Chains A and B, each alone.
Chain A
Amino acid sequence: MSETTPIPIPPLLPEGNAAAPEKVLRKLFLTLFLRGRSSRGLQKTGAPTSVGKKLRVVLILYGLFGLLALIFVHQSVFAMSVYLHGMSLMFLGMFVASSAGEVLFNKEEADILLHRPVTPKELLWAKIRVLVEVSLWIAGAFNLVGFFAGMFTPDGSWLFPLAHILSTTLQALFCTACVVLAYQLCLRWFGREKLEGLMTSAQVVVSIAAVLGGQIVPRVMFRMEGMVQFSVKSWWIGLLPPAWFAGLDDTVAGARSGSSAVLAAIGVAATALVLWAAFGKLAEDYEVGLQKLGETTSRPKTQRAGRRFLDRLVSLPPLSWWLRNPVERASFLLTAAYLVRDRDVKLRLYPGLAPMMVMPVIFLIQEHGRHDSGFGVAFAASYVGLVPMLAMSILQFSQQWQAADVFRMTPLPGPTPLCHGARRAVLLFLTFPLLVVFGLAAWLLHRDDPHILLLLLPGLVALPVYSLIPGLRGQGVPFSRPTEEAKSAGRGASMMLIMFISMALSGIALWAYLTGWFKWYLTGEVVVAAIAYVALRLSMANAPWPAME
C-alpha cells in the first residue's frame, strides 16, 4: 500500500458564502435553549422562537420585582446601583448555575458534534454567548425600572441608563465566566474522572454564593440606610462584586468619587481576568470535559456497595414496614439511586434546592438575639415543608424520560404507587436531613428560649400535604417527562406562589404564638391538614395513567 502525507483530496463541496461555525453554533444553542433538547409534546408551530416568548412570565415577574428599586430613589446612585447589581447577581447566578451544566456538558451532543470540524473553543464561545444573551434579558427585565430611576436619584444624571447597561453587561459576563471557570478549575484540580460529581457540587456552591451575595448586599444597604461607601474602614465592600459594578455606575453617572473609581477598576479588571482564565487559559480543559462524557467506564465498587446497603436498608424495619408495597419499594429504590448517581437529575435537583434553603438560614441568623424573633423558626419549617414538593416536581424530569414508558407496560392500573415510592425516598433522603439541620440550627440559636421551637410545628404539619401535591391527577411519576419542561415558567410561578403562602402562614403562626392563640391555631391546622391529606390520598388512589401526548 503506497503512502502520501497528507493525501491531496479535492474540495469536498464548493465553498462559498457559508456562515461561520461560531454563528451556526450560536444559532443552534439558542434554538435548543428555546425549544429544549427533546421534543415529546412540543409542536413545531408552538415552539418558542425568542427568549422573550420563552420566558415571558418570568420576565414579567422580574420586571415587577424591579419596581422595588424605587425605594432607593432618594438615596445615592451608588446605593441604588449596589441594590440593583446585588439582586441581578443573585438572579443571574441562579440562572447561569442551573443552566450551565446542561448547556456546557450535554452527553447526547458528543455523538452529534464532536466529530464535526469545530474546535472546543468555538463550541464553548457559542454556548457562552447564549448564556450571556439570556442573562442580559433577565437582567434587563429586572433593571428596567432601575435604568430610569437612577437618573432621579439626588446625584444621578442622564448618563445613568447608559452606564447601567454597560455595568449590567459586564456583570452578566463576569457571572457567566465565573461559573465556567468554576467548572474548568474543577476539571483541572480534581481530574476528569470526578467531573460528574464535581459538577453538582460546583453548581450548588455557585447557586448558594449567588443567593448569599444577592441577599447580603441589599440587607447591608437597608441596615446602613444607604450610607454605604468603600473606604479603609469598610474595606470589605471591595470584596462584593455588586459594589464593583455599582462603582462603575457611580463613576460615570453619579457622585464620581475616587473610591467608586477604584471599585469600577476592580470590577473591570476582575471581569477581564475571569474571562481570560475561563475562555483563554483553561479552554482546552473544556474539550477534555466533553470527551469525558463520551467515555463509558465501569462503576466504582463503592457505588455498587451503596446499592447493596440500600437493599439491606429497605428490607429492615422500620423501612420494610413503610415500604410494604413492592411497587412503592421499587420506585423508592429507583429514586434513591438517581438521587445519588444520575448527573442530569443531580444537576437539576441540588442546585434547585440549595438556594431555597439559604433563605431560612439567613432569616434564622438575622433574627438571632432579637426580642421579637420566631419568624425565622416558623419560616424554616415551612421551607422544609416545601422540599418534598419541589423535589418531586424536579424528579419528574429526566433525560431518560422515554425509559419510564416501561412503567406503563407493567400491569399497574395507575402511577400512584410509583409516586408514593418516589415521595418516600424524597422524605427520607432529602427532607429528614434538612429538618434535622434546621431543627439543630434553630435550637442552637434559641437555646435561651426553647419554647420557640414549637413554631417548627406548623411547617411540619403541612409537610405531608405538600408532598402529595405533585402526584395529583396521575402526575409525579419519577423520571417520566422530558427535561425542557422542567424550565417551565408556570412551574416557577406556582412555586413562588406557594412560597408566599408559606411565608404568610409562618407570619400567622408567629402572630398566634405571640398572642397566646398558638394552641388553637395548631389544632386547627392539624385538623385541616388531616382532612386535606385524606382527601388527596383518596383522589390519588385510583388516578389513571395520564395521556402520553
Chain B
Amino acid sequence: MTRMISLQNLTKRFGPQVAVDNLSFDIGSGQIVGFLGPNGAGKTTTLKMLTGMLAPTSGTATICGYDLCTNPIEVKRHVGFVPESGAVFESLTGLEYLEMIAALYGIPPNRARERIQQFLAFFDLGFATLTDKLLGAYSKGMRRKVVITAGLLHNPPVVFFDEPLDGLDANAAVGFKALIQTLAREGKTIVYSSHILDVVERMCDRVIIIDKGRLLLDGKPDELVATHKSGTLEKLFTQLTGGGELEQRAEDFAKTFRP
C-alpha cells in the first residue's frame, strides 16, 4: 500500500491555545479512514492544515509525497476537500460555480461541462437545476451536492470529507456512501470526519480518534470495539471522550422541563 498521507508531529497553536498537538500518523492508498473526535478536538483544524488552508505551527505533513509547507500548490492539486460549512458563492448559479472551480484546476470548459453532467447524472438531477437559480436559493441538500461535486470534480487521489452527509436526503446519502466505498476500492484515499458514528463504523477500514488535539486511538473499528469490549464504536467513543454518565445527565436535565 502506498503512503498517501503522512503527518509527523503536526501542531497548531492559536495564541496560547493548542488546537492540534504533535499529531502523527500515516494513511495508505485505498483506505477509508474515519477521523473522529468531540467538538473542539482539532479535527477541522487538522483537515484545514492538510488541505493547505492553515499553516502548521510546527511539524510536517506530506500528501502524495508533496510536502505541505514547501509545495502547497501541488498538495492542493492532489486533494479534494468537502468542508463542513458547505460555503459557496451564493450569488453564482450552480453551473457558474462549478465551472469556476474546474477552471482553477486547469480543466478545459468542454471537459468540465462533461464532468459536471456526470455528477448530475449520479445525483439524478437535471441540467436546468444548475442554471435556473443562484446558489443562495438552493436547498441545503442541493447545495451540499454542489459542494461535493466541487470537491471531486478534478478527480483527486486524496479526498477529505468533513460531515459530508449533512443535508443530504436518505437516497442521496446511500448513493454517496456507495460512491465513497467504490472510490476507495479503486485506490483513492478517503479521510472521513463525522459525528455519525454508526456510518463511520460501517464504512471505514480504520478510525483515528483525537481529543484536545492529541491522538487517542488508531485502528480498525471492529478490533478497537473488541479490545475495549464496548459493543459499538459509539459507546467506545463516549467512554473515551464523553464520560460515562451521559444518559443519566440527560434524564436529570429532562426533569427540569416538567411543569
The reply to whether chain A is a binding partner of chain B is: yes
- Residue-wise, chain B 106-137 has the 8 Å CB interface mask toward A (1 for contact) of 11110100010000000000000000111111
By a CB distance below 8 angstroms, the chain A residues around B73 are: 117-119
By a CB distance below 8 angstroms, the chain B residues around A296 are: 14, 45
The smallest beta-carbon distance between B38 and chain A, in angstroms, is: 15
By a CB distance below 8 angstroms, the chain B residues around A112 are: 87-89
By a CB distance below 8 angstroms, the chain B residues around A110 are: 53
Q: Roughly how many angstroms separate A96 CA and B25 CA in the complex, as a whole number?
A: 46
By a CB distance below 8 angstroms, the chain A residues around B83 are: 111, 115
**In the complex, are the beta carbons of B54 and A295 less than 8 A apart?**
yes
Q: Is residue A498 within 8 Å, beta carbon to beta carbon, of the partner chain?
A: no
The smallest beta-carbon distance between B99 and chain A, in angstroms, is: 9
The smallest beta-carbon distance between B181 and chain A, in angstroms, is: 21
* A297-B103 contact, Cβ under 8 Å, with A1-B28, A13-B154, A291-B55: no
Q: Roughly how many angstroms separate A324 CA and B12 CA in the complex, as a whole number?
A: 47
Q: Is residue A269 within 8 Å, beta carbon to beta carbon, of the partner chain?
A: no
The smallest beta-carbon distance between A107 and chain B, in angstroms, is: 9
Q: Is residue A14 within 8 Å, beta carbon to beta carbon, of the partner chain?
A: yes
Most-contacted residue by chain A among B28, B62, B134 (CB, 10 A): B134
By a CB distance below 8 angstroms, the chain B residues around A7 are: 2, 4, 64-65, 157
Interface size range of chain A in the complex: 35 or more
**In the complex, are the beta carbons of B1 and A1 less than 8 A apart?**
yes
Q: Is residue A38 within 8 Å, beta carbon to beta carbon, of the partner chain?
A: yes
* Interface residue count on the B side (C-beta < 8 Å): 59
Q: Is residue A108 within 8 Å, beta carbon to beta carbon, of the partner chain?
A: yes
Q: Roughly how many angstroms separate A99 CA and B239 CA in the complex, as a whole number?
A: 50
Contact of A118 among B4, B64, B90, B104 (CB under 8 A): B104
Q: Roughly how many angstroms separate A47 CA and B85 CA in the complex, as a whole number?
A: 25
Among the stretches A24-32, A155-163, A310-318, the one at the interface with B is: A24-32
**In the complex, are the beta carbons of B103 and A39 less than 8 A apart?**
no
Q: Roughly how many angstroms separate A298 CA and B17 CA in the complex, as a whole number?
A: 8
Q: Is residue B48 within 8 Å, beta carbon to beta carbon, of the partner chain?
A: yes
**In the complex, are the beta carbons of A115 and B52 less than 8 A apart?**
yes
By a CB distance below 8 angstroms, the chain B residues around A118 are: 73, 76, 104
Q: Is residue B142 within 8 Å, beta carbon to beta carbon, of the partner chain?
A: no
**In the complex, are the beta carbons of A42 and B111 less than 8 A apart?**
no
Q: Is residue A342 within 8 Å, beta carbon to beta carbon, of the partner chain?
A: no
Q: Is residue B92 within 8 Å, beta carbon to beta carbon, of the partner chain?
A: yes
The smallest beta-carbon distance between B32 and chain A, in angstroms, is: 16
Q: Is residue A36 within 8 Å, beta carbon to beta carbon, of the partner chain?
A: yes
By a CB distance below 8 angstroms, the chain B residues around A21 are: 103-104
The smallest beta-carbon distance between A485 and chain B, in angstroms, is: 12
A1-49 contacts to B, CB under 8 A, are 1-7, 9, 12-19, 21, 24-25, 27-28, 31-32, 35-40, 42, 44, 47
Most-contacted residue by chain A among B4, B92, B115 (CB, 10 A): B92
**What residue in chain A is nearest B92 (Cβ atoms)?**
A31
**In the complex, are the beta carbons of A117 and B105 less than 8 A apart?**
yes
**In the complex, are the beta carbons of A13 and B89 less than 8 A apart?**
no
By a CB distance below 8 angstroms, the chain B residues around A445 are: none
Q: Is residue B79 within 8 Å, beta carbon to beta carbon, of the partner chain?
A: yes
**In the complex, are the beta carbons of A6 and B74 less than 8 A apart?**
yes
**In the complex, are the beta carbons of A37 and B91 less than 8 A apart?**
yes
**In the complex, are the beta carbons of B134 and A6 less than 8 A apart?**
no
Q: Roughly how many angstroms separate A6 CA and B67 CA in the complex, as a whole number?
A: 9
- Residue-wise, chain B 50-87 has the 8 Å CB interface mask toward A (1 for contact) of 01111100000010111000000110111101010101
Q: Roughly how many angstroms separate A134 CA and B49 CA in the complex, as a whole number?
A: 35
Contact of A31 among B88, B96, B111 (CB under 8 A): B96
Q: Is residue B3 within 8 Å, beta carbon to beta carbon, of the partner chain?
A: yes
B2-22 contacts to A, CB under 8 A, are 2-4, 6, 14-15, 17
* A6-B66 contact, Cβ under 8 Å, with A294-B53, A297-B15: yes
- Residue-wise, chain B 199-226 has the 8 Å CB interface mask toward A (1 for contact) of 0000000000000000000000000000
**In the complex, are the beta carbons of A18 and B134 less than 8 A apart?**
no
By a CB distance below 8 angstroms, the chain A residues around B155 are: 12-13
* A28-B89 contact, Cβ under 8 Å, with A2-B1, A3-B3, A39-B136: yes
**In the complex, are the beta carbons of B90 and A44 less than 8 A apart?**
no
**In the complex, are the beta carbons of B78 and A116 less than 8 A apart?**
no
**In the complex, are the beta carbons of A42 and B107 less than 8 A apart?**
no
**In the complex, are the beta carbons of B65 and A5 less than 8 A apart?**
yes
Q: Roughly how many angstroms separate A19 CA and B104 CA in the complex, as a whole number?
A: 8
The smallest beta-carbon distance between B123 and chain A, in angstroms, is: 19
The smallest beta-carbon distance between B52 and chain A, in angstroms, is: 6
Q: Roughly how many angstroms separate A52 CA and B6 CA in the complex, as a whole number?
A: 51
Q: Roughly how many angstroms separate A112 CA and B92 CA in the complex, as a whole number?
A: 13
Q: Is residue B101 within 8 Å, beta carbon to beta carbon, of the partner chain?
A: yes
Contact of B134 among A42, A109, A116 (CB under 8 A): A42
By a CB distance below 8 angstroms, the chain A residues around B194 are: none
Contact of A16 among B48, B111, B115, B135 (CB under 8 A): B111
**In the complex, are the beta carbons of B136 and A42 less than 8 A apart?**
yes
- Residue-wise, chain A 113-132 has the 8 Å CB interface mask toward B (1 for contact) of 11111110000000000000
Q: Roughly how many angstroms separate A469 CA and B93 CA in the complex, as a whole number?
A: 36
Q: Roughly how many angstroms separate A166 CA and B170 CA in the complex, as a whole number?
A: 60
**In the complex, are the beta carbons of B77 and A117 less than 8 A apart?**
yes
Q: Roughly how many angstroms separate A7 CA and B30 CA in the complex, as a whole number?
A: 14
* A115-B136 contact, Cβ under 8 Å, with A15-B108, A18-B103, A37-B89: no
Binding site for B on A (CB under 8 A): 1-7, 9, 12-19, 21, 24-25, 27-28, 31-32, 35-40, 42, 44, 47, 108-119, 193, 288, 291, 294-298, 484
A–B pairs, 14, beta carbons within 8 Å: A18-B108, A21-B104, A24-B103, A24-B104, A32-B91, A32-B92, A35-B91, A35-B92, A39-B90, A112-B89, A114-B53, A115-B53, A118-B73, A291-B55
**5 more CB-based (< 8 A) A-B contacts, given A2-B2, A24-B100, A47-B91:** A5-B65, A14-B111, A15-B107, A42-B91, A114-B51
Binding site for A on B (CB under 8 A): 1-4, 6, 14-15, 17, 26, 28, 45, 48, 51-55, 62, 64-66, 73-74, 76-79, 81, 83, 85, 87-93, 96, 100-101, 103-109, 111, 115, 132-137, 154-157
Interchain residue pairs A-B with the least CB separation, the first 4: A39-B136, A6-B65, A35-B91, A16-B108
